[in-house]
Structure 1
Amino acid sequence: MTRETVVLNPGMGVGHLVPMVELGKLFLRHGLAVTVVVNAPPANKSTDTSAAVSRAAAANPSIHFQVLLPPPDAVPDLTANTDSLEPPNPFVLLRLMNAPLRDYLRAILPTVRALVLDMFCFCADAVDVAAELGVPAYAFYTGSASSLAVNLHLPHMQAQIGDATSFGDIGDKTLCFPGNRPFRPRELPSLALDRGNEVYKHFLHAFQRIPETSRGIVVNTFEWLESKALRALRAGDCVPAGHTPPVYCVGPMVSGAGEDKKNKRHQRGHECLGWLDGQPEKSVVFLCFGSMGSFPKAQLQEIAEGLEKSGQRFLWVVQSPRNDGGPDLLADALPEPDLEALLPEGFLERTAGRGFVAKSWAPQAEVLCHRATGAFVTHCGWNSTLEGIMAGLPLVCWPLYAEQKQNKVFVVEEMGAGVEMAGYDEEVVKAAEVEEKVRWVMESEAGQALRERAMAAKVKAYEAVDEGGASRAAFAEFLRDFY
């Protein structure tokens, strides 16, 4: 007998694919078949997501990965954006993918129990495909509950300041969103600072449609961590003029959580893990900035100088600079970095032994959980934040794009488990700041206090996903809504 299937659509982007695959594993444990539909990149492109899909498929043979190709007669205008200096609008491509998604679902329709859509898919109205075929649709929010509360309330706040006004026009006026600490407009995603930005218009559209059209919202978080934001969501404070669907906190879902890290290390065999094996306990600062977290050469040189002067052991993942300097979901995958050309002359030789520079990628979850890792310098992407929490590490917060500045506010001010890298929103963070923060988090009493709070959060995180935990119960409740 054919098993009922849950179809997961992560839209695009490594940061959205990875937690969607982790969600798929939960469905597998409850006897459901899982298909992850992956949108093929534009012709002649090999994106960061392409490599991540290959890794995910190889690591998860029980999950079916279905690649959807754009309609042959559709040539998306990927430069459709009011500002030619901005990255191309990914939702132009996503909207074109609704037709192949419809065709695929129709072909397997008798077995489809539900369609789980990433928030990006709501930007492109993929939920209409589910409605047309009579398939229940759920939203999977890969960020924090705190940022979900902000985004669901954003259409209301935009209406309050006026359709002709941008958040970027109101200076440093404090913004108060339900369930969140007050923050400044510049801590919103940069696209939200320009009312005319086409991607922002899609974003507002998505967070109007999610409460209107989804049967529930699944969030990669846990009750203890974000109780304030969850109370605001469930009270309906974030969507004052409408209905908020049920919110299910089923996290933290991170790659490799609960697995035998030692065995997994030897299976994957990344060189940096062998290097970590030779370092003292809690002695290494890990610096990694996500799949799109690249820096220009000038910033890489400042980081290198700061690390060298700090005297601390470090493991640093370096990517090649992007030509446009900004994140772009449709950008070609970056070439392997030329470390000798990018880093200060002699840096690698002078720091040999106490430092390791990994090119382009490292197995982040394994590195964070390694006994030698003592702190995490991160871009504050939510996946990385959760991985840091699961490892019980203090976070040095260096947000780059999207909702990462809001995550920084949460980690530093709400959790009290992180510290801000000063100057992150300026052109270049200076070497002296890198040196100071790295030393501070590793050597000071205040840094030790962060570590203790981070360890307390780790205990609560594992309680949530253990047998009888709140996240296990929430997932069971979510499954009951299927039937």
Structure 2
Amino acid sequence: MENDSIVLYPSQGRGHLFVTIELGNRLLAQYPSFSIHIIISTAPSQVPVSATELSAAVTGPSISFHHLPPTSLSKTYTPQQAPDLSYDLAELSNPKLHESLLKISETSVVKALIIDFFNTSAFQVSSQLEIPTYFFFTSGAGALAVFLYFPTIHEHARKSLKDLDGYQIEVPGLPPVPSIAMPVAMLDRTTEVYHCFMKTALQFTKCDGIILNSFELLEKRMIDSILNRDCTPGMKTPPLYCIGPVITNGDSVPPRRHECLTWLDSQPSRSVVFLCFGSTGVFSSKQLNEIAVALETSNVRFLWVVRKPPQSDQDPTLKSFLPHGFVSRTNDRGVIVDNWAPQVEVLSHDSVGAFVTHCGWNSILEAVRAGVPMLAWPLYAEQKLNRVFLVEEMKVALWVAESDKDGLVSASELEKRLTELLDSEKGREVRKRVEIMRDGAIAAMREGESSTVALKKLILSLKQEHRRELCCDSK
């Protein structure tokens, strides 16, 4: 007898991949009869994730991985063109995706294809094969509301958002969003990637369901706005399944306990500021110096994950990028970690009292789940949107302001925000708020509570034998 399979198709990028694997783990925990197949595409310039890392992220025996053959791209991409790369890679991978789905269907019934935001072109394949298709939106409800409302924003703005200085975008259920906080790909309506985003926003309304990595208490007003169809005027809103927080144990498994955790063991409760900016966050030497000065003059305890500046011809050691003598002057109260730290474990440690973050959604959920207040310092993608929601709506973070001239965060600005978060009434209010959200995150995952109920509803939908309608139907 053929078994039922669910196929997950994340976009390229470690953060997207590992949270998708955890989604597979969650599905199997609730319904072990499924077989989960995860299809992985890798850009030519990307280092593939090792089999060891993949197997370490899997908690059950019924998850298998299918690697699409390498795809040749006709052009090169700058780091700022990561969305362009993701869309192009997905489009070019469609023939191999089609083959993979047919191969899987030889031994099982493919009940659904669950795709990432950037893999919208996969609808061309799933429509041909009449496979129900769901989106797994790996950011929050606030960002989802913006994307769903994007066609309306496009219509109202009449011109590119980059040309509307000071323009405030009003999205139902959200605080006002400055146009400059929108993702770069959505700022210029003359670009191809802008229209890819527009196509994706419209495709959201035609899918069989949206799986959201969030929970009701954290983003209630935003979720209600989506459910009330306020963000999709005149269009269908598919079922929404808020199953979060979906948190991984990290995208790497060290052979032993990381030494930074041993150092944290010796620090007072809630005394350490943790600075970490995601798997691809890098700064210039000038910005690293500003951070170092702020950490030294503020006299805080800190654990700082540092990556070397790109394209630097300096000495490759970390010390060469920091002020002379900084490490020796602060070694009694601070630790610098090269490139990577076990973020989930660090945030969960009793000694950590604040988190300076790039506002990636995975990092936000990890901090909320640990009850750690944040300083919001976005770098790319939808992170500036997330900062607006973190500070203005959720109230679990304080705003770190960049210079309008060069985007630099000054040492004085960072020092001021650190002091405010750690030692002011406003900072204490943020801490109280994030602790409420921590308790809400824990509660949402209990049996009979919101996220568990949503996951069970999703599984019931995935188990259905008959397709309701084609996702790409234009009606």
Q: TM-score scaled by structure 1?
A: 0.89
Indicate the SS of the match to 1:65: strand
Mapped pair 1:141 → 2:137: yes
**Superposed counterparts of 1:111-126, under 5 Å:** 111=108, 112-122=110-120, 125-126=121-122
Mapped pair 1:179 → 2:170: no
1:151 is matched with which residue? Answer: 147
2:440 is matched with which residue? Answer: 460
2:291 is matched with which residue? Answer: 303
1:196 is matched with which residue? Answer: 190
**Superposed counterparts of 1:161-172, under 5 Å:** 161-162=157-158, 165-172=159-166
Give the distance between the partners of 1:51 and 1:438, measured in 2 at CA.
35
Question: Contact 1:70/1:96 (CA < 8 Å) preserved in 2?
Answer: no
Question: Contact 1:79/1:89 (CA < 8 Å) preserved in 2?
Answer: no
2:5 is matched with which residue? Answer: 5
Q: Which runs of 5+ in 2 are unaligned?
A: 465-475
Indicate the SS of the match to 1:114: strand
Q: Which moved more, 1:370-379 or 1:272-281?
A: 272-281
1:15 is matched with which residue? Answer: 15
**Superposed counterparts of 1:441-452, under 5 Å:** 441-452=421-432
1:421 is matched with which residue? Answer: 400
2:266 to 250, 272, 278: 278
1:391 to 360, 370, 393: 370
Mapped pair 1:407 → 2:401: no
| Closer/same/farther in 2, CA of residues 215 and 415 from structure 1, 3 Å limit | same
Whichever residue aligns with residue 57 of structure 1, its letter is: S
Whichever residue aligns with residue 139 of structure 1, its letter is: F
How many residues are treated as equivalent by the alignment?
Answer: 453
Give the distance between the partners of 1:85 and 1:227, measured in 2 at CA.
32
1:329 is matched with which residue? Answer: none
Mapped pair 1:102 → 2:86: no
Mapped pair 1:222 → 2:215: yes
Whichever residue aligns with residue 114 of structure 1, its letter is: A
Q: How far 1:266 sits from its partner (Å)?
A: 9.1
Give the distance between the partners of 2:386 and 2:105, measured in 1 at CA.
38
Q: How far 1:89 sits from its partner (Å)?
A: 2.4
Indicate the SS of the match to 1:294: coil
Question: Contact 1:14/1:52 (CA < 8 Å) preserved in 2?
Answer: no
Question: Contact 1:304/1:347 (CA < 8 Å) preserved in 2?
Answer: yes
1:34 is matched with which residue? Answer: 36
Output one character per residue of 1:173-201: Cα deviation in whole Å (capped at 9) or x when no partner. Answer: 22101221112100111222211222222
Give the distance between the partners of 2:460 and 2:82, measured in 1 at CA.
41
Q: How far 1:414 sits from its partner (Å)?
A: 0.9
| Closer/same/farther in 2, CA of residues 202 and 268 from structure 1, 3 Å limit | farther
Question: Contact 1:78/1:92 (CA < 8 Å) preserved in 2?
Answer: no
Give the distance between the partners of 1:392 and 1:337, measured in 2 at CA.
36
**Aligned-residue RMSD, C-alpha:** 2.4
Give the distance between the partners of 2:432 and 2:14, measured in 1 at CA.
31
Question: Contact 1:114/1:135 (CA < 8 Å) preserved in 2?
Answer: yes
Q: Which moved more, 1:284-293 or 1:199-208?
A: 199-208
Give the distance between the partners of 2:246 and 2:391, measured in 1 at CA.
22
| Closer/same/farther in 2, CA of residues 152 and 85 from structure 1, 3 Å limit | closer
Q: How far 1:342 sits from its partner (Å)?
A: 1.2
Indicate the SS of the match to 1:401: coil
Percent sequence identity is 39
Mapped pair 1:56 → 2:54: yes
| Closer/same/farther in 2, CA of residues 194 and 219 from structure 1, 3 Å limit | same
Whichever residue aligns with residue 75 of structure 2, its letter is: L
2:67 is matched with which residue? Answer: 67
| Closer/same/farther in 2, CA of residues 59 and 85 from structure 1, 3 Å limit | closer
Whichever residue aligns with residue 441 of structure 2, its letter is: A
Give the distance between the partners of 1:337 and 1:359, measured in 2 at CA.
11
Give the distance between the partners of 2:271 and 2:292, measured in 1 at CA.
18
Q: How far 1:41 sits from its partner (Å)?
A: 2.4
Whichever residue aligns with residue 350 of structure 2, its letter is: R
Give the distance between the partners of 2:348 and 2:185, measured in 1 at CA.
34
2:342 is matched with which residue? Answer: 363
1:89 to 79, 84, 87: 84
Question: Contact 2:22/2:57 (CA < 8 Å) preserved in 1?
Answer: no
Question: Contact 2:145/2:226 (CA < 8 Å) preserved in 1?
Answer: yes
Indicate the SS of the match to 2:176: coil
Give the distance between the partners of 1:445 and 1:435, measured in 2 at CA.
17
| Closer/same/farther in 2, CA of residues 424 and 178 from structure 1, 3 Å limit | farther
Question: Contact 1:265/1:273 (CA < 8 Å) preserved in 2?
Answer: no
2:75 is matched with which residue? Answer: 78
Give the distance between the partners of 2:310 and 2:83, measured in 1 at CA.
14
Question: Contact 2:57/2:249 (CA < 8 Å) preserved in 1?
Answer: no
| Closer/same/farther in 2, CA of residues 391 and 53 from structure 1, 3 Å limit | farther
| Closer/same/farther in 2, CA of residues 249 and 480 from structure 1, 3 Å limit | same
Question: Contact 2:53/2:253 (CA < 8 Å) preserved in 1?
Answer: no
1:240 to 219, 228, 233: 233
Question: Contact 1:70/1:100 (CA < 8 Å) preserved in 2?
Answer: no
1:332 is matched with which residue? Answer: none
Question: Contact 1:80/1:92 (CA < 8 Å) preserved in 2?
Answer: no
1:269 is matched with which residue? Answer: 257
Output one character per residue of 1:74-120: Cα deviation in whole Å (capped at 9) or x when no partner. Answer: x3213379xx9856821222211111111011011152221100011
2:472 is matched with which residue? Answer: none
2:200 is matched with which residue? Answer: 206
Indicate the SS of the match to 2:165: coil
Q: How far 1:338 sits from its partner (Å)?
A: 2.5
Q: Which runs of 5+ in 1 are unaligned?
A: 258-263, 325-335
Output one character per residue of 1:416-438: Cα deviation in whole Å (capped at 9) or x when no partner. Answer: 11101122664311111122211
Indicate the SS of the match to 2:387: helix
| Closer/same/farther in 2, CA of residues 305 and 14 from structure 1, 3 Å limit | same
| Closer/same/farther in 2, CA of residues 99 and 376 from structure 1, 3 Å limit | same
| Closer/same/farther in 2, CA of residues 85 and 389 from structure 1, 3 Å limit | closer
1:293 is matched with which residue? Answer: 281
Output one character per residue of 1:367-425: Cα deviation in whole Å (capped at 9) or x when no partner. Answer: 00011100000011111111110011111000111111111111111111110112266
1:341 to 316, 320, 342: 320
Whichever residue aligns with residue 76 of structure 1, its letter is: L
